[in-house]
Amino acid sequence: MPAATVVLLRPGSGGLEVLLTRRPASMAFGPDIHVFPGGRVDAADADRAALDAAGISEAEAAANLGIGLAPDGGLMPRDALAHHVAAVRETAEETGIVIRAADLIPLTRWVTPASLSRRFDVRFFAAFVPGETEIRGDFDEVADASWLGPREALAAAARGEIEIWQPTFVTLQQLDRLGERADLDDVRAAFAPGTDAGGPLIERLRDDLARVDAPWAAGIPGRRARGWLAGTAEVVVVDPTDPTGATSDAIGVEVAARGARLAGAVITSLAPERHAGVEMLAHGLGLPVAAARGTVPWAPYPVVEVGPGESLPFGAPGFTIEALRSLG
User: Domain residues for 31?
Assistant: 2-190
Residues 91 and 15 in one domain: yes
Residues 104 and 212 in one domain: no
Query: Does residue 189 sit in helix, strand or coil?
Result: helix
Residues 174 and 220 in one domain: no
The CATH number linked to 92 is 3.90.79.10
User: What pLDDT is stored for residue 249 in this prediction?
Assistant: 95
Residues 277 and 302 in one domain: yes
The number of domains in the chain is 2
> What is 68-105 written as a DSSP string?
TSS--TT--HHHHHHHHHHHHHHHHHHH-----GGG-E
- Determine, yes or no, domain membership for 322: no
User: What pLDDT is stored for residue 244 in this prediction?
Assistant: 96
Residues 23 and 86 in one domain: yes
Torsion (CA) 91, 97, 103, 107 in degrees, nearest 10: -40
State how far the Cα of 141 lies from the Cα of 122, in Å rounded to an integer.
18
- Determine, yes or no, domain membership for 132: yes
Q: Residue 99 carries which side chain, given as an amino acid letter?
A: I
Using alpha carbons, select from 65, 70, 4 the residue that is nearest to residue 38. 4
Residues 10 and 119 in one domain: yes
The CATH number linked to 289 is 3.60.15.10
pTM of the predicted model as reported, rounded to 2 decimal places: 0.94
Residues 106 and 21 in one domain: yes
User: What pLDDT is stored for residue 81 in this prediction?
Assistant: 98
- Determine, yes or no, domain membership for 316: no
- Determine, yes or no, domain membership for 312: no
Residues 26 and 175 in one domain: yes
Residues of the chain with pLDDT under 50: 326-328
Residues 216 and 259 in one domain: yes
Q: Residue 132 carries which side chain, given as an amino acid letter?
A: E
- Determine, yes or no, domain membership for 195: no
- Determine, yes or no, domain membership for 323: no
Whether 133 contacts 147, CB under 8 Å? no
- Determine, yes or no, domain membership for 10: yes
Residues 127 and 10 in one domain: yes
Residues 146 and 228 in one domain: no
User: What pLDDT is stored for residue 52 in this prediction?
Assistant: 96
Residues 223 and 258 in one domain: yes
Long-range contacts of 172-175 (CB under 8 A, 24+ apart): 172/18, 173/270, 173/272, 174/107, 174/108, 174/218, 174/272, 175/7, 175/9, 175/16, 175/18, 175/150
- Determine, yes or no, domain membership for 279: yes
